[in-house]
Amino acid sequence: MLIDTHCHLDFPDFNGNREEVIERAKQQGIGYVINIGSSLQASKNSLSLAKRYDFIYATVGLHPHEAENFNASVLGEVKSLAREEKVVAIGEIGLDYYFREPAKKDIKISQEKLFRALIAVAREESLPLVIHNRDADSDLLRILKSEFGREKIRGVVHCFSSNEAFLKVVLDWGFHISFTCNITYKKADNLRNLVKVMPLDRLLLETDAPFLPPQIYRGKTNEPSNVKILAEEIAKIKDITFDEVAEKTTFNAKKLFSLPR
């Protein structure tokens, strides 16, 4: 069994073939799919998918780009959704400072406010975090340290793209790490080096579909069935068997997200 711990099957990219994509995932041995909420509407759509398919689970969250739309009403809806039976985490949440122009101070402040509010929801509901981090290492660590202190943190830093120093810190704090199919890209030596040193007992697999397809499918829409290609690449990088990758990452995902054993 393999588990895709992060994808967006609710996105419009799949409007023409969603059923086929989901069926392909099942045929490729994908035992569970976790569909990620990235906005209020996406969180609702994610939960709807989870209710339709027994092997799909949902998260509820607001991507940092949603900070401008955040208010008390939205927070109330997120809290309500978080209590639904098939919701297994709060995410994706975090910080994203990737801007064509330097990020303005007020944008960073609004993202931090959103991030802290959703951390609070996760703690209230005893749910793990799905962390989005782009070009914001220092602020992300500052916020997490102020919220959790020395307490171990249940969650995953998804689509990991930072350096080894950051990796060590978040591992020490209790996080899991997920890599996506961009580790297959020709110029991704830095990511492959991180995979090589990554402890297997904290590793998760994700596609982030429809984004970041494997090298052999560049230019096409990514989908959960491609998590098999990701597992094969990780096995190659770490010089272990595919079965070892599948067994350990599946165990990790089931434990973190409280999925049926």
Q: What is the 3-state secondary structure (H, E, C) of 31-73?
A: EEEEECCCCHHHHHHHHHHHHHCCCEEEEECCCHHHHHHCCHH
Quick one: CA dihedral 147, 153, 154, 160, positive or negative? positive
CB 33 within 8 A of CB 16: no
Could you tell me the pTM of the whole model?
Answer: 0.96
Measure the CA–CA gap between 119 and 147, rounded to whole angstroms: 8
CATH number, span 2-257: 3.20.20.140
pLDDT at 13: 98
pLDDT attached to residue 261 = 84
CA distance 249 to 17: 28
pLDDT means per 10 residues, the chain with 261 residues, are: 98 98 96 98 98 98 96 98 98 91 79 98 98 97 97 98 98 98 98 98 98 98 98 98 98 98 84
pLDDT at 105: 74
**Bond prior to 147 in cis (omega within 30° of 0):** no
pLDDT score for 100: 66
